[in-house]
């Protein structure tokens, strides 16, 4: 069962997560994480607010891209997980604001919570 809009926002607001794993249509030093849809932007922001850490999954096409709706600032992101060919672009774009990881999905494992 998928949720969206105010139903999803109401559900998210009841949680306290160790880790938020979100996506973004654009990731730039100028505008942070952005989305093409205002509801997705709002849900991403709410999930980040209710999480201890935030990871963003993004391929290299998202580096430097800006979409109309701001979701969160780069300072709120702990880690960007990308493909090997996206590491240099993201390191240049985020200028040290967060960690950049490259991991093939076949060997990637999430860290254990403390």
String of DSSP letters for the chain: ----HHHHHHHHTT--EEEEEE--SEEETTTEEEESSHHHHHHHHHHHHTEEEEEEE--GGGBT---SEEEE-GGG--EEEE-GGGHHHHHHHHTTSSEEEE--GGG--PPPP-
What gap in Å lies between CA 3 and CA 68, rounded to an integer? 23
| pLDDT tens per residue, range 11-67 | 778 888 899 999 999 999 999 999 999 999 999 999 999 999 999 999 999 999 999
Residue 59 lies in a domain: yes
Residue 110 lies in a domain: no
The residues with which 56 forms a beta bridge, in sequence order, are 22, 80
Residue 77 lies in a domain: yes
Domain containing 22 equals: 5-104
Domain count, the chain: 1
Residue 109 lies in a domain: no
Residue 88 lies in a domain: yes
Mean pLDDT estimate for the chain: 89
Residue 34 lies in a domain: yes
pLDDT category of residue 113 using cuts at 50, 70 and 90: low
């Amino acid at each position: 069962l998928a949720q969206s809009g105010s139903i999803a926002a109401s559900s998210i607001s009841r949680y306290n997560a160790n880790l938020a794993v979100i996506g973004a249509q654009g990731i730039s030093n100028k505008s942070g994480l952005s989305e093409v849809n205002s509801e997705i932007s709002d849900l991403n922001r709410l999930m980040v607010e209710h999480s201890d850490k935030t990871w963003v999954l993004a391929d290299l096409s998202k580096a430097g891209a800006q979409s109309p709706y701001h979701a969160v600032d780069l300072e709120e992101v702990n880690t960007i997980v990308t493909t090997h060919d996206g590491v240099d672009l993201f390191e240049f774009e985020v200028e040290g604001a967060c960690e950049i990881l490259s991991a093939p999905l076949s060997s990637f494992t999430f860290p254990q919570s403390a």
